[in-house]
Amino acid sequence: MTPYPEDHEPTEFIPLVRHYLGDLIYGANDGIITTFAVVSGVTGAALESRVILILGFANLLADGFSMGASNFLAIRSDEDARAASGRPPNEPFALRHGGWTFAAFVVAGVVPLISYVFMPGDSAFALAVTLTLACLFAVGAARSLVTTRNWFKAGAEMLIVGATAAAVAYAIGALIEGLT
């Protein structure tokens, strides 16, 4: 991470995005995956759409806040450790990093729930899958705008990780539904 003086961070768009890129990708990826894991698990358990919305939105806000707060605390802890060893500050904007993590989590994490808000029922899951996979690929590919990664490979990488997590959640939901 590039060190910045206490009162300065990048002001131009690309350097600013690069500065917060880890927070944005971390938040967006986890927001999409964990929310879709809830959707997939509840669908695999054959529960109704109302349950998906309740658990989905509860997870979205609680886990999003937890992610942002954890990022804030991790950066503050790292800075405290740097100070204790006599090293200069590296990242004075812990609250901003936590805020960007939370925002990215919520914005991306709402995607798997959109279809259930507007079209509750059996067809909502198929649309949720489509929207989620498209969003995973788009967020992954967008990394190439501020990195040297190939957009297709970056998108495919995030898509594969997210799809794998969703498949695991769906299978667990189906397994537990079969046991109960």
Q: Where are the domains of the chain?
A: 26-179
Q: Are 95 and 79 in contact (CB under 8 A)?
A: no
- 89 secondary structure, DSSP code: P
To the nearest whole percent, how much of the chain has pLDDT over 90?
Answer: 59
Q: Are 156 and 134 in contact (CB under 8 A)?
A: no
pTM of the model: 0.86
The band of 167, judged by pLDDT with boundaries at 50, 70 and 90, is: confident
Contacts of 144 (CB under 8 A, 6+ apart): 150, 151, 154
Place of tokens 């695991």: 168
In this prediction, residues 138-165 reach a mean pLDDT of 91
The pLDDT value given to residue 120: 67
pLDDT tens digits for 90-120?
888 999 999 999 999 999 999 999 999 998 6
